[in-house]
Amino acid sequence: MIERISSLIIPLLVLIVVGYGIFKKINVYDVFVDGATESFDMVLTMFPCLLGMIFGINIFLKSDVLNYVFTFLKPLFSRLNVPIEIFPMMILRPISGSSSLAILNNLFAHYGPDSFIGRLASVIQGSTDTTFYILTLYFGSIGIKKIRYSLWAGLAADVIGIVSAVVIVNLFFGA
Give, for all 175 residues of the chain, the pLDDT tens digit.
788 888 889 899 989 999 999 999 999 889 888 888 888 887 787 788 778 777 877 787 678 777 788 888 888 888 888 898 898 888 888 888 888 888 899 899 999 999 999 999 999 999 998 888 888 878 877 878 888 888 899 999 999 999 999 999 999 987 5
Domain range for 112 is 64-175
User: What pTM was estimated for this model as a whole?
Assistant: 0.66
Q: Quick one: 148 and 86 in the same domain?
A: yes
Question: Is 89 in contact with 102 (CB distance < 8 Å)?
Answer: no
Q: Quick one: 52 and 134 in the same domain?
A: no
In 3-state terms, what secondary structure has residue 42? helix
Q: Quick one: 107 and 32 in the same domain?
A: no
Closest listed residue to residue 116, CA positions, set 98, 124, 163: 124
Q: Quick one: 73 and 59 in the same domain?
A: no
Q: Quick one: 85 and 145 in the same domain?
A: yes
**Pairwise CA distance, residues 156 & 88, whole Å:** 18
**Pairwise CA distance, residues 156 & 163, whole Å:** 11
Query: Which pLDDT value is given to residue 175?
Result: 56
**Pairwise CA distance, residues 95 & 55, whole Å:** 12
Counting the structural domains of the chain, the total is 2
